Structure 1
Amino acid sequence: MIKFQLLTKENMAENALDNYDRLQNVRRVYRKIDSEYMLVEDVGIMDWSFERKQAVAKALISDDYITFGAIREDEIVGFASIEKQLQGKYIVLDMMQVSRKYRGKGMGRTLFQLVKEKAKEMGAKQLYISACASEETIEFYKSMGCKITDNPIKKIAEDEPFDLQMVCDVD
């Protein structure tokens, strides 16, 4: 059984993601071509090194983020993290991941709903997402009601030039 809970320094260790399976096989990505987003073939593998997993775990429980986890038998199998500070009308969804063998089972939907509710509690009007351009990732966010924004947060868009900048109303 999967349980969902707020992750904190008290209930999550810095090594909690050491065995996390981030692997994602990418076949197609969205790219802006002549002012329109189109799917193009771009085969690759997205994964994290051991060091990256430890850095992510440490960041998730830092004072900068609010993180919800999906937990199965004391193992984190998914998480979604938002920044604690509003950026205008936005709360930034900093990171959202579901372990490979748990994808497609509704966990991402539940995690997304939890951060969306928290963002609303915090006074945000929209979640802001700098989303990996992979077809599967963008289709997930679209299914959650997200859309590409015409008004991206400049620094985030510049830091992640291949990501799609998306927003989702929290109401």
Structure 2
Amino acid sequence: MIGADLALLDQIDRRELIEQLYLLEDGKLKLYEERFDMAGWPPGEAQHNAEVLAACFERGGWFHGVFDGEMLVALAVLDSVLLQTERPALQLKFLHVSHDYRGGGIAGRLFRLACAQASAMGAQEIHISATPSRNTVDFYLSLGCTLLASPDPELLRLEPEDIHLRYRLG
């Protein structure tokens, strides 16, 4: 995947019926009912994400796209900037799989590839700012990610409602 491919970002079908969300309360995850139908990209979000990811690409971020023909159906992005944490860490900046391609193991394979790349880049952990939907958080927890007690202050500022997780490498 190259920077020019970011124009294809809106090809990823983000459809999802969300019925439960997590909230972090007193250091513990609390599940609550919240039903809404994510019909796709909110207006302007794909373009905004493409701009953020283009900046990541320019500073040496790692990108791995999955294509079906010429259609982008999944993307994982690992930032190249080491976070100011107790152990060297990189942020998994983006991981999305199109609706019709979920459940086949693509996300898990992309996550493992990102872990291998992060390790090669000198990180000991990957940090994730996960949207609080149950499906997303449960996916990361199933991979062995754990709650991050002290998220990177900048990531917390940018995504205060996200569930901040980490995955220890090696």
TM-score if structure 2 supplies the norm length?
0.87
Residue aligning to 1:163: 162
Superposed counterparts of 1:55-66, under 5 Å? 55-61=48-54, 62-64=57-59, 65-66=61-62
Give the structure 1 partner of residue 133 of structure 2: 134
Contact 2:24 2:163 in 1 (8 A): no
2:115 and 2:168 map into 1 onto residues whose CA distance is 8
Q: What is the aligned length? A: 163
Cα RMSD, aligned residues only: 1.8
Residue of structure 2 equivalent to 1:124: 123
Q: Closer, same or farther in 2 for the Cα pair 1:18/1:164, shift >3 Å? A: closer
Identity percentage over the alignment?
28
Q: Deviations over 1:122-167 (max 9, x none)?
A: 0000000011111100111011110001121122113212111100
What does 1:28-107 align with in structure 2 at a 5 Å threshold?
28-46=20-38, 47-49=40-42, 51-61=44-54, 62-64=57-59, 65-88=61-84, 89-107=88-106
- Equivalent position amino acid for 2:139 in 1: F
Secondary structure in 1 matching 2:7:
coil
Q: Residues 11 and 72 of structure 2 are in contact (CA less than 8 Å); yes or no, is this contact kept in structure 1?
A: no
Distance (Å, rounded) in 1 between the aligned partners of 2:159 and 2:51:
21
**Quick one: distance in 2 between partners of 1:141 and 1:40?**
18
Amino acid of the structure 1 residue aligned with 2:30 = M
Secondary structure, in 3 states, of the residue corresponding to 2:132? coil
Query: What is the letter of the counterpart of residue 25 of structure 1?
Result: L
- Partner Cα separation in structure 2 for residue 45 and residue 142 of structure 1: 23
In 2, Cα distance between equivalents of 1:35 and 1:122: 30
Deviation at 1:34, TM superposition (A): 4.6
Show structure 1 runs of 5+ residues with no match.
1-6
SS at structure 2 position matched to 1:105: coil
Give the match for residue 8 of structure 1.
2
Q: 4+ residue runs of structure 1 moved beyond 6 angstroms?
A: none
Amino acid aligned to 2:135: E
TM-score, normalising length: structure 1: 0.86
Structure 2: unaligned runs, 5 residues or longer: none
State whether residues 30 and 135 of structure 1, in contact with CA within 8 Å, keep that contact through their aligned partners in structure 2: yes
Residue 155 to residue 13, structure 1, CA distance change in 2 (3 Å):
closer
CA distance in 1, matches of 2:137, 2:117: 22
Higher helix proportion: 2
